[in-house]
Amino acid sequence: MGSSEQHILVTGGAGYIGTHCSVQLLQEGYRVSMIDNFYNSVMEAVDNVKELVGPSLAKKLQLYKVDLRNIDELEKVFSLNRYDAVIHFGALKAVGESMQHPFRYFDNNLIGTINLYQVMAKHKVKKMVFSSSATVYGQPGKVPCVEDFPYIPMNPYGRTKVYCEEMGKDVQKADPEWRIIALRYFNPVGAHESGKLGEDPKGIPNNLMPYLHQVAVGRLPELNVYGHDYPTKDGTAVRDYIHVMDLADGHIAALKKLFTDEDIGFTVYNLGTGKGTSVLEMVAAFEKACGKKIPIKLCPRRPGDATAVYAATDKAQKELGWKPKYGVEEMCRDQWNWAKKNPMGYQKKA
Ligand code: UFG
């Protein structure tokens, strides 16, 4: 259990992973302050976090509508509360958008993180769990991806994740009191089992799971399967999908590591299941979960996509004592539960 004295600041707390993680934190006994600029998230998600944890734990949750780029406002939040650690999710994450608008990514993801490190240092809050991504591996020469593989980011979004990891390394080297864990997520999918929290992307989804969700509820006519000539079992690309609840648990494990391991320094862990699933396998699993046929169209490869990406999981399992509990079946079950209860996402209930 987290001590009731431990207060965690969660940036991007109203977002997809931030909400799931905040529920777990509150249920583990931590106090939580969320910071969010609501660029890609909605207040209803925060209301649902409160509803899920119940009124007494909801009292331990504070929300600040603050943009990390506004250092004065960030400073105010830190002067109001004494934090024990920060979990830093707050960032933009769309690969395509980052190629069209690189400055948007440098501004949000880099300036936001620089400000956060500076304000944390000033207030002597020197423990951070950083939201990184398997995107730093790019097109890996071999799989599974091991944490010491070289950085090969393929787009501005991926580069911001690399730079932020490097920043963390430098900050920690300059002041060894810092303890920083960067978690490299593979493909987070699924939703809270209640169906009250889930991913709700703006516009047409880029990612496979929200796209399947929208086809299944009739918002989109068919799934475009990008590439069917990859050297894989069925010709479609292979990824390591991980249930968002397992990912949230991984953050709790990382946080506990920060509080207990004084030699952690700056350390990176993959958060994945270690299992590769093809696009067609994912479609089949989703069809089984929702009981509907998902129309597909076989399309050319999407530029920049890797053939197969999945995680080496030994380091996280051994050092964090964390292991994912859910498989693709549960990921699709919970995604579908969220989809059918909220076909239009948070905003417009059917
Ligand atoms: N795919 C389709 N049709 C779609 C969407 C996706 O066939 O409509 C395929 C993709 O081509 C890919 C697989 O489904 O083979 C998974 O695609 P996603 O977009 O869901 O996920 P990616 O693996 O491309 O992206 C993820 C994260 C990014 C990260 C990237 C690289 O979402 O944040 O991994 O590691 F940058």
Q: What is the pLDDT of residue 3?
A: 56
When pLDDT is averaged across residues 286-295 and rounded to a whole number, the result is 98
What per-residue confidence (pLDDT) applies to 144? 98
Q: What's the mean pLDDT in 157-184?
A: 98
Mean pLDDT in residue range 168-192: 98
Confirm if 20 and 96 have CB atoms less than 8 A apart: no
What is the spatial distance between Cα 9 and Cα 27, in angstroms, rounded to a whole number? 15
Assess whether pLDDT exceeds 80 at residue 114. Answer: yes
Q: What Cα–Cα distance (Å) separates residue 160 from each residue in 108, 112, 121?
A: 9, 11, 21
Separation CA 323–CA 162 (nearest Å):
25
CB 214 within 8 A of CB 162: no
Minimal-distance CA residue to ligand 1 atom 12: 237
- Residue 348's pLDDT band (cuts 50, 70, 90): low
Predicted local confidence at residue 350, as pLDDT: 44
Active-site annotation holds for 137: no
Tell me the mean pLDDT in the region 174-183: 98
The pLDDT confidence band at residue 304, using thresholds 50, 70 and 90, is confident
pLDDT tens digits for range 227-264: 999 999 999 999 999 999 999 999 999 999 999 999 99
Q: Average pLDDT for residues 78-101, to the nearest whole number?
A: 96
Q: Integer distance in angstroms from the first to the last C-alpha of the chain? A: 39
- Ligand 1 centroid to Cα of residue 32, in Å, is 31
What is the structure's pLDDT at 18?
98
Please report the pLDDT score of residue 347 as a whole number.
Answer: 73
Q: Is the CB of 285 under 6 A from ligand 1?
A: no
The active-site residue, picked from 105, 157, 226, 241, is 157
Q: How confident is the model at residue 103 (pLDDT cuts 50, 70, 90)?
A: very high
